[in-house]
Amino acid sequence: MSNKKNTAPKSGEKFKSKIGGQALIEGIMMLGPDKGAMACRMPDGSIDLETWQENNGKNAPWYKKTPLVRGCVNFVVSLIKGYKYMMKSAEKQFTEEEKEESGSVMYQISMYVGIVLGLVLAVGLFVFLPKFLVGLMPTVKSLRILRSIVEGLVKIAIFVLYMYLISLTKDIRRQYMYHGAEHKCINCIEHGMELNVENVQKSSRLHRRCGTSFLLIVMVVSIIFFLFIRVNSPLLRVVVRILLVPVIAGVSYEFIRLAGKSENPVVLTLSKPGLWLQKL
């Protein structure tokens, strides 16, 4: 998955890698400095493996290494690659009949409709619903700073509740298990142990560089940013918040990156809510 330096530490020696990953449908995608890989469990029980070249190490382009900029770039790249390999992993579970259907125009249309509905649901849950709920609190909505704080806390509460509720479904619970397996693999490597089933099983399923923790940090950082935005027009306020998304993503990425390699007590304390969230 990565170069010799990142795969051959002394036994038991803890170090920080640049390896990241994502749970897929019956599989995992892993990205290292030089290579990427996708492993999926096929319907017959065999493991299908794909590998490809990556450029995330020392020779990566400037926009992948520049602070703040790299956070925005990695966020977008992660969304694109995540969607691409999620779809590929789903296709591997198709029967021959389903594979034929997946090539039809109606199937493609239904996929795009699903994406649009997902975006609408996300905007409704995390943008309009918090505003609506805060609007039911006359005392709160009349105080700008308090309104921003409460609105942010409501978003976090909705996010945590959403993560919990979808974990109750069989398919999502299965994907959460693969997510935990991904963390175990990275923790195994970063603790200098040989990457085998026995060592992975006893490794932690929690990791400070988790994407779920990143989303939580994004919400916290957005609360802080929006405290300083004073725009009277509701429409202009929405526009400004959209424009700030790359900045918020960049700052959040830098914190997650720091959390992954720092043992500072303050950083460790600030990372704990993300680790608690992973226990879902």
Query: Which tens digit of pLDDT belongs to each residue from 170-188?
Result: 999 999 999 999 999 999 9
* Spatial distance between the Cα atoms of 120 and 243, rounded to a whole number of angstroms: 19
Query: Does residue 249 contact residue 215 with C-beta atoms inside 8 Å?
Result: no
Q: Does residue 6 carry a pLDDT above 50?
A: no
What would the two tokens of residue 150 be? 């409460």
What would the two tokens of residue 266 be? 């303050």
Q: Does residue 212 carry a pLDDT above 90?
A: no
Higher pLDDT residue, 24 or 59? 24
Task: Read off the pLDDT band of 4 (50, 70, 90).
Answer: very low
Q: Does residue 52 carry a pLDDT above 80?
A: yes
Task: Read off the pLDDT band of 7 (50, 70, 90).
Answer: very low
Query: Which tens digit of pLDDT belongs to each residue from 261-274?
Result: 888 899 899 899 99
Residue linked to tokens 């794909």: 50
Mean pLDDT (the chain) is 85
Higher pLDDT residue, 229 or 7? 229
Q: What is the pTM of this model?
A: 0.81
The contacts of residue 15 (CB under 8 Å, 6+ apart) are 6, 9, 190, 192
Query: Does residue 32 contact residue 56 with C-beta atoms inside 8 Å?
Result: yes
- Give me the DSSP letters along 48-71: EEEEEE---STTS-GGGTSTTHHH
Q: Does residue 5 carry a pLDDT above 50?
A: no
